[in-house]
Structure 1
Amino acid sequence: MASDSVILVTPRTILRPMKLSDILSVSRAANSAAVAQYMRNRFPSPYTEADAEKWIKGLLAKERPCGFAIADPKTDEVIGGIGIELGKDVDFRSAEFGYWLGEDYWGKGIMSEVGKAFAEWVLKNIRVTSEYEAGKEFTLTRLFASVLDGNDGSRRVLEKSGFVLEGIMKRGAYKHGKVMDQWIYAITQED
């Protein structure tokens, strides 16, 4: 792994771009019903090597990759993923924040450590342009995340990462055949 590809180092992880050689470790870490339980419906379960390959190739094909591997610094094995989805139009200075972590790594404070560091990095380093103000660059001013009702672990991660509860979208999501509330968290910065 080239050291210049690492975007962040935390006490127990490195964050770096995904690569095709990550297919096996991504599918191993993501292939858990418990991991998929509160993810978007587009997150496959079971999570196969073909699913990992498709996801990684999708990230690599983007002009501006916004999804990264959470990797073990000793082995370079992927143990999770983190990223943002940039907003558009009037929301171009906002981004949705998302992440997942392999079940073997839960309950150790890893995701809170990574979430805080990544949110700070994104707000400081990601530059965006408005399609209506050509040539003018801006930093992001807001990251937000939605958490499905019942995912208390993810709520704690966001709170420890500096995100604040903005509200609850009552009956705002549909997962596993039922309508659920979504908890909306955000972290902001001044211009």
Structure 2
Amino acid sequence: MSSQAESTAPPPPGPAAAIASDPVPPPIITTPKCIIRLHHPSDIAAMQRAADSPAVAKYMSYRFASPYTLEDAQRWLGFAMNFKAPGTDILTSYAICDPVINTYLGGIGVKTREDIEENTFEVGYWIGEASWGKGIMTEALRAYAKWVFRTFPNVIRLEGNTFGANEASAKVLRNAGFVYEGTRRKAAVKHGVVYDVLMFSLLREECPLDN
């Protein structure tokens, strides 16, 4: 289960002070099927195992490495633990974890925009194959969208884009309340295969924040 918007830029080195023995951050979101929290150095091994799958990488951008090594996980961790929404101290990339044992399952985050599009964020996500088909990603996306609207009062629109062939990801977006807006025909090429890109959005007024 993946969305092509997961990665946004080459990640910087991680903070030297962050070590695996540091306390794991508390969740920002708790649902029956998952918790969402900040990344932590202890996530690296589980992240690498979940991400190192051709099926997971298939519909991601080239920035999502395949094969996915421990070094790739370390680089992403450095990005996730440093990248903040412009003008804030709020990190935008989070870990999706098992609600019982807090094990890393996948990631979710937003890409911010500038200028006349600064009120729009683009959401990206992925989750390991072992977690597919359980409703985890839909629940995570629905809850995370609410968190974004609550946390960033200026955001009026969330976008989610996915390869046309990625039916599972399109289903996640629809089930999380996102509305299909159209198709960018033959807008992406990966490993020589041409794909349409499906465009979805969720507006603030379409996302109930009181539950």
Fold shared, TM-score > 0.5 on shorter chain? yes
Q: Write the distance in 2 (CA, Å) between the matches of 1:17 and 1:150.
A: 31
Question: What corresponds to 2:156 in structure 1?
Answer: 141
Which is richer in helix? 1
Question: What corresponds to 2:38 in structure 1?
Answer: 17
Give how far 1:11 is off: 0.4
Moved over 6 A (4+): none
Structure 2 unaligned regions, length at least 5: 1-21, 85-89, 206-211
Match of 1:114 among 129, 136, 140: 140
Question: What corresponds to 2:82 in structure 1?
Answer: 61
Tell me how large the CA RMSD over aligned residues is: 1.5
Secondary structure at the aligned position of 2:74 is classed as helix
Question: What corresponds to 2:50 in structure 1?
Answer: 29
| Structure 1 residues 141 and 61, CA gap change in structure 2 (3 angstroms) | same
CA deviation profile, 1:92-130 (whole Å, cap 9, x unmatched): 01011110000001011111111111111111212xxxx
Question: What corresponds to 1:95 in structure 2?
Answer: 121
Q: Write the distance in 2 (CA, Å) between the matches of 1:2 and 1:83.
A: 22
Question: What corresponds to 1:174 in structure 2?
Answer: 189
Match of 1:86 among 101, 109, 112: 112
Structure 1 unaligned regions, length at least 5: 127-137
Q: Write the distance in 2 (CA, Å) between the matches of 1:139 and 1:48.
A: 37
Q: TM-score, normalised to structure 2's length?
A: 0.81
Residues 1:46 and 2:61 are matched in the alignment: no
Q: Write the distance in 1 (CA, Å) between the matches of 2:96 and 2:80.
A: 14
- The answer on whether the counterparts of 1:18 and 1:60 sit within 8 Å (CA) in structure 2 is yes
CA deviation profile, 1:132-171 (whole Å, cap 9, x unmatched): xxxxxx4200110111021000000000000000000011
- The answer on whether the counterparts of 2:44 and 2:70 sit within 8 Å (CA) in structure 1 is yes
Q: Which amino acid aligns with 2:112?
A: L
Number of aligned residue pairs: give it: 179
- The answer on whether the counterparts of 1:20 and 1:57 sit within 8 Å (CA) in structure 2 is no
Match of 1:7 among 25, 28, 33: 28
Which is richer in strand? 1
Secondary structure at the aligned position of 2:100 is classed as coil
CA deviation profile, 1:33-56 (whole Å, cap 9, x unmatched): 000011111100111110000000
Percent of aligned pairs sharing the same letter: 39
Q: Write the distance in 1 (CA, Å) between the matches of 2:125 and 2:105.
A: 11
Give the number of the structure with larger relative contact order, counting CA–CA contacts within 8 Å between residues 6 or more apart. Answer: 2
Q: Write the distance in 2 (CA, Å) between the matches of 1:183 and 1:169.
A: 6
Give how far 1:77 is off: 1.2
- The answer on whether the counterparts of 2:34 and 2:98 sit within 8 Å (CA) in structure 1 is yes
